[in-house]
Amino acid sequence: MKQSCNVLKQKVYYSDTDSYGVVWHGSYLRWLEMGRVDWCEMMGHNLTDLENQDIVMPVVNLNIRYKASAKLNDGLIIETYVKSFNGLSVIFAQTIRSEETLKTFIEAEVEVVAIGKTSGKLYRRMPSVLAEVFKKEVECPLTV
> Do 80 and 6 touch, CB atoms closer than 8 A?
yes
User: What is this structure's pTM?
Assistant: 0.91
CATH at residue 122: 3.10.129.10
Distance between CA atoms of 135 and 110, rounded to whole angstroms? Answer: 17
Q: For residue 141, what pLDDT is reported? A: 53
The answer to whether residue 100 is domain-embedded is yes
Q: Look at the chain and report how many structural domains it folds into.
A: 1
For the chain, what is the mean pLDDT? Answer: 93
- Residues 20-68 have pLDDT tens digits of 999 999 999 999 999 999 999 999 999 999 999 999 999 999 999 999 9
Distance between CA atoms of 109 and 18, rounded to whole angstroms? Answer: 24
Q: How would residue 138 be classed by pLDDT, with cut points 50, 70 and 90?
A: confident
| Structural domain harbouring 113 | 6-139
- Residues 36-49 have pLDDT tens digits of 999 999 999 999 99
Distance between CA atoms of 143 and 62, rounded to whole angstroms? Answer: 25
